[in-house]
Chains A and B, each alone.
Chain A
Amino acid sequence: MSKAIKKEAPLTMDVFTAGIWKENPVFVMMLGLCPVLAVTNSVENSLAMGAASIFVLVCSNALVSALRNFIPKQVRITTYIIIIATFVTLVDYIIQAISLDLYNKLGAFIQLIVVNCLILGRAEAYASKNSFGKSVISALGMGLGFTLALVMLGGVRELLGAGQLLGYQVFSLDFEPWVVMILPPGGFIVLGSWLLLINYIEQRKTGKLLANDMASHCNVSQN
């Protein structure tokens, strides 16, 4: 294998933006769906879970990447789990120090970040193979993409399920809340609806690109 092939790809804006949309962990890769469905019954919970996940994702990816040349392959998963569990414990204490109310609302889902496959997946698939800078930037993009998905679900569910956004009344008091939206089935309904919409937009975009390509090919052949 030539050295040129082994050389790591440069750090570009794509490393950051891929996680937000093109490779969004929820809408494209379908990772970490347990907290996505469980805590998104309000925007506040979604933002808090998103922030906690970003912290754990960035810190664990940074440490995994920094130690990647020292961790033997045979114990890598155990090591990653220890690293992730450490940062989850830290975020658990930090949230308790910031707000007990928020901590009580999020319940066990903070501790369950340890088993979020998005975090372990990024450590194994990306941070263990890439430089420190790229791993941190990619983790930040992935974390923001995860938070964006949580807020998109939380926003719809809180709006339809309680007529509120971030606790502020949006619809009039006459609005009869769709209670199903803040129950577990509401999580599946809203996630399914977002996936339907996003895939529809993506397909239309791909269709348009194909049509443009065909049109330009026709023009070239006519000329």
Chain B
Amino acid sequence: MTEPTDNKANEVPPLPSSFSLISTLGVVAMLSGFLVVLVYEYTKPIIAENQRLATERAIFKVLPKANSRLTFVIKGDDIQPADDKSKGELIYAGYDKDNNFVGIALNAAEQGYQDIVKLLYGYSPDTGCITGYDVLKSTETPGFGTKITTDKEFLANFNCLDAKVNLEQTALNNVIKTVRHGTKQNPWEIDAISGSTITSNAVGRMFNKSGQKLHPLIAKHLPTLKLAKQTSGDKHE
């Protein structure tokens, strides 16, 4: 027979009711939801404005001759006027101060070393050249992958990277590809950065993927894109 003990410290506390457990979690979850919604609603317009400014900055960086731009959205085989909030794949046409067409800014993305690298690049359909890019998102290794924004030799690839469309307007004339550092022979090849091969390859792959899909489409709708500014006035500036 065990001796009765008066040591309260050793007593197991009674289990709380299920209602008590569920209500505690419910109240905390509601409080959490309230705080998240509050901050989300407050920061939503600020974040949207930051994203708009970042896109705007990138567009005018890759189309330095542009004074204004129009947004279009790709719908199947068609390119339609849109605004920045439109859903779908957006492209941006740039125009100079006399409303002459100067080029197109296109989004491209590909898996890099750490994560997806996202770029906005300038394309001139008249010359068939990719003329430069701006990095929208990259978490590549500092000192290696980040060289795609600083390495002068690498950036020189994009003075005029050949991205011409074939005569049938179905694909690119030549596949854009990244080659080993120092072995570039053709204008559609990208000379890789020594030590940053994975990110350099990602840039080549994303330009080829985007070029094969979008450049033929742009070539088909080029007259519409060129005249869009004159027909739409300045409302999208």
Contacts and interface: CB of A to CB of B under 8 A. Distances in A.
Contacts of A86: 31-32, 35-36
Contact of B143 (A105, A107, A161): A161
A79 B26 CA distance: 10
A85 interface: yes
A93 B47 contact: yes
Contacts of A179: 143-144
Chain B contact patch, size range: 20 to 34
A82 B32 contact: yes
A17 B9 CA distance: 33
A97 interface: yes
A83 interface: yes
A79 B47 contact: no
Given A86-B32, A96-B50, A71 B141 contact: no
Interface in B1-34: 9, 13, 15-16, 20-21, 24-25, 28-29, 31-32
Chain B at the A interface: mostly helix, strand, loop or mixed?
A: helix
Q: Chain A CB within 10 Å — which of B51, B115, B139 has the most?
A: B139
A104 interface: yes
A42 B142 contact: yes
A75 B21 contact: yes
Contacts of B54: 100
A79 B27 CA distance: 10
Contacts of B142: 41-42, 161-162, 182
Nearest to B38: A90
Contact of B28 (A67, A94, A162): A67
Contact of A70 (B24, B43, B141): B24
A162 B143 contact: yes
Interface in B36-74: 36, 39-40, 43, 46-47, 50-51, 54
Nearest to A183: B141
Interface of B: 9, 13, 15-16, 20-21, 24-25, 28-29, 31-32, 35-36, 39-40, 43, 46-47, 50-51, 54, 114-115, 137-139, 141-144
Interface of A: 1, 41-42, 67, 70-75, 78-79, 82-83, 85-86, 89-90, 93-94, 96-97, 99-100, 104-105, 107-108, 161-162, 177, 179, 182-183
6 contacts: A41-B141, A72-B24, A85-B32, A90-B39, A93-B39, A96-B50
